[in-house]
Amino acid sequence: MRFERSAGILLHPTSLPGGFGIGDLGVEAYNFTNFLEVAGQKLWQIFPLGPTGFGDSPYQCFSAFAGNPLLISPEKLKEEGLLSENNLENVPNFNPSFIDYGGIIYYKHELFNIAFNNYKKYNKKLKNHFEEFCEENKDWLEDYSLFMAAKDFHEGALWTEWDKELVLRKESSLKKWKEKLADGIKYHKFIQFLFFKQWLELKNYANSKGIKIIGDIPIFVAYDSADVWADKKLFSVDKEGNLETVAGVPPDYFSATGQLWGNPLFKWDEMEKDDFLWWRKRLSNQLRLVDIIRVDHFRGFDKYWEIPDGAPTAEKGKWIKAPGEKFFNTVNKHLGELPIIAEDLGVITKAVIKLRDQFNFPGMKILQFAFGTGMERRFLPHNYIPNCVVYTGSHDNDTTKGFFNKEKNKDNDIFEHAQKYLNYYGDDLTFELIRLAYSSVADLAVIPMQDVLGLGGGARMNFPGKLGGNWTWRFTWDQVSHDLAEKYRQLAELYERPPGPETEVIEEDTL
């Protein structure tokens, strides 16, 4: 699918400012939307919105369908009458630039419990909306809410360590546990209701400003998830839930030993039996939440790297064929043409390119990968086609300032090549790289907020392969200069993102 020429910013809502320790869907999300509008930005790209698990990664969630409770705004709960002013008086002294997940999880769930109890006691006006939400989302919500309530009961333990009958999902056991955990199940349903309500209100506001949301789907789901527990037959686990094989990628630019993700793989033959119904539901649910879907690790639809469970690294594995063409033809038959961006980074084969182009999905271009001997020439803008998305860097890269600061002190030609290519020898190479992205023929240009702010390596979002310390960065409005929005509006106008009016064509016989 081709998209209109436009520009946008990559910023996950957790990185928004605010007084509750983590960015949320409250007033600052609307302020950021207003900033995007003034800055002439038509796109807001985010990471996956799911409930994060171990490591706090949005790419490892307890559900492929649910939303992240940590994004729920306490201030909006107060507006709904679910919290009082007193409930928000003693907010811990959270760091405004760094997310301390442990403290925030504890604090926010205390507030959510108060909101839930207030809902049960006083707030009758939400009752019908809540019940409608539960009915509309029962396909995934029933299993998810039981999964989370059971996880709470078992003090956060991996689901394979629960009561054996619950692990195996025996009918009699499910009935017993649903009765036993009834209040906890309703609590988790209610939290999802609040998330979806707040997110969809924000999305509608952004859309009313002409801004589209680019969401993100990790191709694989987390092992410790309601998805795997509820549908073991669809994933590479045995009947008792033990992993058989896991996902990852072989050695590449990011890691000499590859990336061992540890996610279960799909049993594609099983999924094909009902025309990939699980995937169709997942995509449909995602398109309620966002306007455009970025599919992470797109090459996994052509072939995926299968690693034996228990392997210490991702080095020993094998490529297995996936049903890419059949999958997308089937999905298109049921859902129509989908607005998908293909994350086609890393080692990409001709077969992956063919699959991407067959369905007209734009691929990704990372400018940090473009420069120096041995780098990837396909990321140099003179080699682009219009149907692509250009970034200075992604969430897995250093900030552009941090990247160049490191490279200029190394014994290679990356920094020098970038200077020559840009014909720029000043001290703001980050902005010149952004200008290069905007000026390219790429239909979409999306810049991480860290680069928009010109921040160094301390603002990096993620280090692939590193456990802990990721996904913690937040910006503050103090970092936003008074003229920044106007600067980017002018840049968007200069490079016609979106395009201006078409030039009138004069017929030859009128000359």
Sign of CA dihedral 383, 385, 386, 392: negative
| Short-list 75, 88, 97, CA closest to 201 | 75
Q: Are strands 292-296 and 340-342 parallel, antiparallel or unpaired?
A: parallel
CA distances, 8 to each of 224, 375, 497 (Å):
33, 26, 9
CA 137 to CA 494: how far, in whole Å? Answer: 44
**Given 216, 227, 296, 398, the catalytic residue:** 296
DSSP state of 409: T
CA distance 181 to 177: 6
Catalytic residue at 238? Answer: no
- Shortest CA distance to 48 belongs to which of 185, 186, 214, 183? 214
Beta-sheet pairing, 245-249 with 212-218: unpaired
Residue 293: name the closest of 386, 357, 385, 361 by CA: 361
343 has catalytic annotation:
yes
**428 flagged as catalytic:** no
- The four Cα atoms 496, 497, 500, 505 give a dihedral, to 10 degrees, of 70
Indicate which residue of 165, 315, 357, 396 is catalytic: 396
Q: What are the φ/ψ torsions at residue 503 (nearest 5 degrees)?
A: -70, 135
Tokens coding 199 = 């997110």
Active-site pick, 216, 227, 343, 451: 343
In total, the chain counts a number of residues equal to 511
Beta bridge partners of residue 388, listed in sequence order: 363
Nearest to 111 by CA among 128, 144, 88, 130: 88
Backbone angles phi, psi at 306, to 5 degrees: -95, 120
Closest CA to 347 of 291, 391, 313, 300: 300
Rg (CA), the chain: 24
CA 306 to chain centroid: 23
Give yes or no for a cis peptide into 498 (omega within 30° of 0): yes
Q: What is the dihedral of CA 452, 454, 455, 457, to 10 degrees?
A: 100
How many Cα atoms within 13 Å fall on the side-chain side of residue 445? 28
Tokens linked to 296: 């992470």
| Selection from 148, 131, 89, 145 nearest residue 114 by Cα | 89
Catalytic residues: 296, 343, 396
